[in-house]
Amino acid sequence: MESVLSKYENQITIFADYLEEFPDTDELVWILGKQHLLKTEKSKLLSDISARLWFTYRRKFSPIGGTGPSSDAGWGCMLRCGQMMLAQALICRHLGRDWNWEKQKEQPKEYQRILQCFLDRKDCCYSIHQMAQMGVGEGKSIGEWFGPNTVAQVLKKLALFDEWNSLAVYVSMDNTVVIEDIKKMCRTLPLSAETAAESPPESLNASTQSKGPSACSPAWKPLLLIVPLRLGINQINPVYVDAFKECFKMPQSLGALGGKPNNAYYFIGFLGDELIFLDPHTTQTFVDTEENGTVDDQTFHCLQPPQRMNILNLDPSVALEILKENLRMFELVQKHPSHWPPFVPPAKPEVTTTGAEFIDSTEQLEEFDLEEDFEILSI
């Protein structure tokens, strides 16, 4: 096992000649709900991409489970993509979609707190340690490659331990999103009726209640909506191409997890028929917090031109975010199907950790309740 891992650790997995510059074109580039005119806004586009948190293979962290691997090279790429997607949700919630990162510039304390949720330590809420060990309950051995649906289920479980954001993660079943079930997950008891031990942290109260709910109305848990899909058999069906691209135009978009078999990428946008993605297949050394409690973030942002892939080369098994299109890739229903087992929202766990959100209010969910233009997908 260790010899296999060391082989992967010594590989150089990003090649400069594979990273092509963007072409000189008048086409628009869409990145997670924002558009950029490539010809006149190239530097702004690259800055927007480099601001996304970039999680890659790491080595020399403490062994997972005490005796397991100390590197995820060769098997952890989908877990890293799941981390990137979730980190983007947290950035949107705490810092806003327009927030930008600049090298060696002091960042808000929320940024540092988000980053620390994903460090490669067993006590970090969304660490590779927590994700790999939670995957055992999904039938995955530590060191085994995950698919996008498995990552979605793992994040759903880990979010139960996240007291900072009190996040509700909904993973659709059988290509069906049930609005009634989402509301059950996201609505909590009126704050005046909660005990002190059950009350959300002050930081969460400030970020959610200032947007609408009063102390006597139901509080709203932030929602991360994930829809695992299969858009073809051996390759993506061309009939879904336009609908798939539309998801990256939605302001709530968190992108998509997918890629090729056993080779995962985090897709964040598109140019023409090419998908733009962040690639986790680079092995870097473990980074921990410094003496002052902050994290050196230089290796958590990709400063090279992003990679691109023709959309038809995408593996048809994906987990993605929010769509607007006439072609239905999944079903959106108001009521829980009668032939399904009863929906039971996940119970709040007794054991909690600190950690790491995406819909901020019931009003925003109502916007998706429409049978007009929008249909919901997610990761």
CA-based nearest residue to 164, from 374, 376, 353 = 353
| Residue 66: count of CB within 10 angstroms of its CB | 8
Are 74 and 144 within 8 A, CB to CB?
no
Q: Which of 48, 72, 77, 124 is catalytic?
A: 77
Helix (H) or strand (E) holding 116: helix 109-116
CA-based nearest residue to 116, from 242, 320, 292, 253 = 292
Q: Which of 120, 279, 315, 360 is catalytic?
A: 279
Which residues sit opposite 257 in a β-bridge? 266, 319
196 Cβ contact partners less than 8 Å away, ≥ 6 residues apart = none
| Residue 281 among the catalytic residues | yes
Are 64 and 133 within 8 A, CB to CB?
yes
Rounded to whole angstroms, the Cα distance separating 357 from 94 reads 9
**262 secondary structure, DSSP code:** T
CA-based nearest residue to 95, from 36, 52, 126, 155 = 52
| Residue 77 among the catalytic residues | yes
| Residue 195: count of CB within 10 angstroms of its CB | 7
122 Cβ contact partners less than 8 Å away, ≥ 6 residues apart = 62, 64, 129, 130
| Residue 162 among the catalytic residues | no
Are 73 and 10 within 8 A, CB to CB?
no
Are 184 and 128 within 8 A, CB to CB?
no
Q: Which of 281, 302, 315, 360 is catalytic?
A: 281
Catalytic residues: 77, 279, 281
